[in-house]
Amino acid sequence: MMLYLSIGALALLFAWNLTSLYANYLSARKLGIPIIILPVSFDQPVLSLLMPYLSWVEKLPLGLGRWYRYADVGWPTRDGNRTILEVGNETFVLISPSSILIMTAYPPAVNHVYRDRNLIVPSPFKDFLKALGPHLSSVNGDVWTRHKRVTAQAFVEGNNRFMWDNTIEGVKDLLSTHVMPNEGQKAVWTLTTARERLEYLALHVLVGVGFGQKSTAEVQSGHQRSLLSCLTVLLSHIFAISFLDKVPLPYFILPSMLRKVKLNVAEFILYMKEAVGSQLEKQLKSRAPSKSKKDKVSLVEALVASNEAAKERGEGMHLSDPELYGNLFLFNLAGFETTAGNLLYSMTFLGAYPAFQSWLTEEIDAHYIAGASSYDNTYPKLVRCLAFMHETLRHCGPAPMMLRSPCVATSIPTSPTTSMVVPPGAWISGHFYGVHLSPRWGPDAEEFNPKRFVRSTNDETVGDGKQQKQQEKLATPPGDAVYMAWALGHRACPGKKFSQVEFVAAVAHLLSLYRIELVRSSAAESLEEARKRFLDVIAEKYFVIGARVKRPDDISIRLVPREDKKEVLDISWDMSALASIR
């Protein structure tokens, strides 16, 4: 009896999937773009759990297993612009029994998708990571506007100075702890080790900039875990947090790993409550929430001040405590992944292209003095460092896609003369890798060249007859190419400048003292051969919140002290040793 019931249930499931797939196929045909049919999609969680066991499917003959390439949410990270070249169109659609997903790298379409406010973030993607509270990425419409107004104050220009100083202190701590003195002024790191070191840096900065605390492992009174430890666990187990939110199982039946995550979620929420409460108390005492606009305030202080100001206006535009916690966690997650991931790829590219590294070092030596350069006087001059960040993100961006769905049937251009009508319920996303690797960037679109993001202003004669010195500025994309590493439109990343300041500060301080080299496989391996080997490894990416290297232990980088900075290094390590004795 049970056998018949099981067979019947499977037959019904198969029939439902087949019927739904056919219905979606008929809808997709009306779009007039290439169609790729998938028997299962990443938005079907139960079926997607089986995907790791079906990797052999992709090797089936006659392209029968092609669908497996698109079976997880991070597929564009691996795909690059491969599918676009195969279908011969910048826009195509993936259909499955559960969804219609349109991917586009056509610039006018991409701009429309992210600038039209009638396209919203659909479920279930907007519901991801709501375990600690609703946040900027989980809401739409007027609720999103309310979140945006409050959270925007966390990223004002004054706070960039705080980020600059904290990042430089973090890099100093990283170098003194993991490079000197126990590694003989030289460090050889696999990419696994480098990732761990850079996560250490990211956490240092997050604790300082996010909460205004020193990066310490000390467990505070009333807690079982330190703030640093909580962040380490939570930011490394994002999907476990989401699972626990959706499946609230009793603590006693959870496996040890999930128990650990659950404990750290509770501890982190307690830390956030205490931080918010402390800032409220300070503001009540000072009776001056506007003082949060001073230089060097933490994200917590800035958010609380902005929220209290919204309450005073009495417009109902303030955030609840859970919403404050949700946004704080979102900003911590974004800061953690972009710092660790982007710096990891950047260090690899720096080693692979010594000429570009020298190009950056030339700029750094002209404008940056290790540990003694202010944000205001230095950051605007480090254009090449910022260009290097842009080019790294063009090749290894953290986001594979950002889905939108129209509230009403919406016309989206597909070429200068054609368009498609996207129905409500369908999903559409910019193909980030397709956009960034498009031939619109020029014949060298797939090559790594940060100089594409730098333009030199021509010498000009100013009013007093003096010749103005040639300056470098960040260049915009060529022609109609689109750059969207921080997304586009009204929902673009609010921490864009924050992340740029952090990256530039980290690279400037690191390269002011060290050179980064590739570790050759043998004495006979040339730089060109080593570069190809390294680039082949980092080209094999996969997605877990950000772009990750599939084989990180296959390659290593070396940090070598710069000979012309040896005296500075010696003084730095003497001071570190003195501090440790104290």
pLDDT value, residue 464: 53
Dihedral (Cα; 428, 445, 340, 564), 10-degree rounding: -160
Other Cβ atoms less than 10 A from the Cβ of 16: the count is 11
Integer Cα distance of 404 and 270 in angstroms:
34
Q: How far is CA 206 from CA 200, 227, 277, 339, in A?
A: 10, 10, 19, 10
> Cα angle at 116 between 113 and 122, to 5 degrees?
65
Residues whose CB falls within 8 Å of the CB of residue 498, separated by 6 or more in sequence, listed in order: 155, 159, 160, 163, 335
pLDDT value, residue 35: 95
pLDDT value, residue 291: 45
Sheet holding 556-561, edge to edge: 187-190, 556-561, 514-518
> Cα angle at 507 between 398 and 385, to 5 degrees?
80
Q: What does 450-504 look like in DSSP terms, one character per residue? A: GGGGEEEPPPEE-TTSPEEPP-EEEPPPSTT----TT--GGGS-TTHHHHHHHHH
Q: How far is CA 203 from CA 156, 499, 582, in A?
A: 21, 14, 25
DSSP state of 406: E
pLDDT value, residue 370: 82
pLDDT value, residue 6: 65
pLDDT value, residue 3: 65
What is the 3-class SS of 512-581, one letter each residue? Answer: HHEEEEECCCCCCCCHHHHHHHHHHHHHCEEEECEEEECCHHHCEEEEEECHHHHHHHHHHHHHHHHHHH
Residue of 394, 401, 397 lying closest to 92 (CA atoms): 401
Predicted TM-score (pTM) of the model is 0.88
- For 149-169, how does the pLDDT look when each residue is reduced to its tens digit (9 = 90+)? 899 888 888 889 989 999 999
> Cα angle at 197 between 191 and 200, to 5 degrees?
145
Integer Cα distance of 386 and 502 in angstroms:
10
DSSP state of 316: S
pLDDT value, residue 537: 92
Handedness of CA 366, 368, 369, 375 (dihedral sign): positive
Q: Which parts of the chain have pLDDT scores under 50?
A: 182, 184-185, 289-292, 461-462, 467, 567, 570-582
Tokens of 319: 């955030």
Dihedral (Cα; 44, 49, 54, 57), 10-degree rounding: 20
Around 254, how many Cα atoms within 13 Å sit in the side-chain half-sphere? 17
Q: Per-domain residue ranges for the chain?
A: 21-128+398-438, 146-397+439-458+467-480+485-581
Integer Cα distance of 38 and 48 in angstroms:
12
The CATH H-level (homologous superfamily) assignment of domain 146-397+439-458+467-480+485-581 is Cytochrome P450 (1.10.630.10)
Residue of 262, 280, 287 lying closest to 324 (CA atoms): 280
Cα Rg for the chain, rounded, in angstroms? 25
Rounded to the nearest 5°, which phi and psi values hold at 495? Answer: -95, 20
Integer Cα distance of 364 and 511 in angstroms:
8
